Structure 1
Amino acid sequence: MSFSFPTNATPNNVRSVALAILHQNGRFLMQLRDNIPTIIYPDRWGFFGGHLEPGETPEMGVKREVIEEINFTIENPIFFCRYDDDIALRYIFHAPLTVSIDELNLQEGADLGLVSPDDVKRGQCYSEKLGDVRPLGKIHQEILLNFINRS
């Protein structure tokens, strides 16, 4: 199913982004963002996805971004909801992760991992690659808690 959501920036130049909740066996694939102070949510766990390109629908954008970031093709992303704030208009999709995380090719971020519902509730997750616990991005935690509660 395709959606034709408006992708123009709002008058405040808020960007439109499409993000993926990829789930497998009750856990959620997340990206540990790079620890670069100039990016949004540095050194935090967040969703795969990103900014929409001109003329791109959110569904097209989430598919493109996930391929670019981990070389995984989402066949049929299901629209979950939209979260708006002063930072972004977030189009959230969900889909099953149908391969082992060992088959993914991380192209962006410091690490990736499957996050449990308990990790989401605690707001933090262990990074195997860094050998340390890192927090979830606050908005990502909120979205996942809503997703868990609606499932």
Structure 2
Amino acid sequence: MLPQIGIKPENLSSVAQLLNTVLADEFVLYVKTRRAHWNVESPDFFDKHKFFEAQYEQLDDILDVVAERIRTLGHYAPSTLKEFLALTHLSERLQETNDGVGFIKELLADHESLISRLREIINRLADELKDLGTSDFITGLMETHEKMAWMLRAHLR
């Protein structure tokens, strides 16, 4: 049963589809950040190891709230690797070395790509799909990713 919250059922479905792609992007970014945490090799290994841990923990929280937003709107969240890979806009490409700077550049590019994508859908959610709540929710996610990207970028100075 779809919630009766003032959003047309077809719009709820469209919003859920957009959120499904966001969830897939978040999941792929989470896995890539875990990979960095597990495999980083550099003179400042411990600092980078802990830094990547803090970032994947943030992403883990994001995964949960995005999936719960999908459920709040009466739809099911994707939950298999196959679904995530079919829905994501990010690449699974892997760098050739396990150095901290390489991981940071790769993760920064993914965060910035995700930020741009989130920015694109904010107004669509509000204007076209009439879902101000999800538009606001995505704005908050975008701001979180902007801060995470800043933290990554700061390592490259």
TM range (shorter): under 0.3
Which has more helix, going by share of residues? 2
Using the size of structure 2 for normalisation, the TM-score is 0.26
Using the size of structure 1 for normalisation, the TM-score is 0.27
Which has more strand, going by share of residues? 1
